[in-house]
Amino acid sequence: MNKIYVVGIGPGAYEKMTIEADRALQSSDMIIGYTVYVDLVKEHYPTKIFLTTPMKKEVDRCMMAFEEAKKGHVVSMICSGDTGVYGMAGLMYEIGEKYPDVELKIIPGVTAALAGAAVLGAPLIHDFCLISLSDLLTPKEKIKSRLLHASEADFVICLYNPSSKKRSGYLRWACDLMMEYKSEDTVCGIVKNIGREKESVLLLSLSQLKNTDVDMFTTVFIGNSQTKQVDGHMVTPRGYKGV
Ligand code: SAH
Domain edges within the chain: 2-107, 112-235
Asked if residue 79 has its Cβ within 6 Å of ligand 1, the reply is yes
| pLDDT digit string, tens, across residues 65-123 | 999 999 999 999 999 999 999 999 999 999 999 999 999 999 999 999 999 999 999 99
| pLDDT at position 53 | 82
Among positive and negative, which fits the CA dihedral 55, 59, 63, 69?
positive
Predicted confidence (pLDDT) at residue 56 exceeds the cutoff of 80: no
Q: How many other CB atoms are found less than 10 A from the CB of residue 14? A: 13
Predicted confidence (pLDDT) at residue 205 exceeds the cutoff of 80: yes
Amino acid, single-letter form, for residue 10? G
Predicted confidence (pLDDT) at residue 200 exceeds the cutoff of 90: yes
Q: Are strands 30-34 and 200-205 parallel, antiparallel or unpaired?
A: unpaired
* Alpha-carbon separation of residue 198 from 12, 121, 159, 190, 195 (angstroms): 12, 18, 20, 14, 9
CATH of the structural domain 112-235, one choice from 3.30.450.20, 3.40.190.10, 3.20.20.70, 3.30.950.10? 3.30.950.10
| pLDDT at position 168 | 85
Query: Could you tell me how many residues make up the chain?
Result: 243
- How would residue 55 be classed by pLDDT, with cut points 50, 70 and 90? confident
CA pair distance 153, 99, nearest whole angstrom: 42
> 103 CB contacts (<8 Å, ≥6 apart)?
1, 2, 3, 4
What CATH number should be reported for the domain whose range is 2-107?
3.40.1010.10
- How would residue 16 be classed by pLDDT, with cut points 50, 70 and 90? very high
CA pair distance 134, 39, nearest whole angstrom: 24
| pLDDT digit string, tens, across residues 153-163 | 999 999 999 98
Tell which atom from ligand 1 comes closest to the C-alpha of 191: 24
Q: Tell me the CA–centroid distance for residue 80 and ligand 1, in Å.
A: 7
| pLDDT at position 164 | 82
Asked if residue 80 has its Cβ within 6 Å of ligand 1, the reply is yes
| pLDDT at position 86 | 96
Asked if residue 227 has its Cβ within 6 Å of ligand 1, the reply is no
CA pair distance 69, 103, nearest whole angstrom: 9
Asked if residue 217 has its Cβ within 6 Å of ligand 1, the reply is yes
Predicted confidence (pLDDT) at residue 132 exceeds the cutoff of 90: yes
Collapsing DSSP states into helix, strand and coil, what is residue 140? helix
Mean pLDDT for all residues in the chain:
95
| pLDDT at position 177 | 98
Q: Are strands 228-230 and 233-235 parallel, antiparallel or unpaired?
A: antiparallel
Predicted confidence (pLDDT) at residue 1 exceeds the cutoff of 80: no
Substitution candidate for ligand 1 out of 107, 160, 168, 192 with most atoms within 8 A of CB? 160
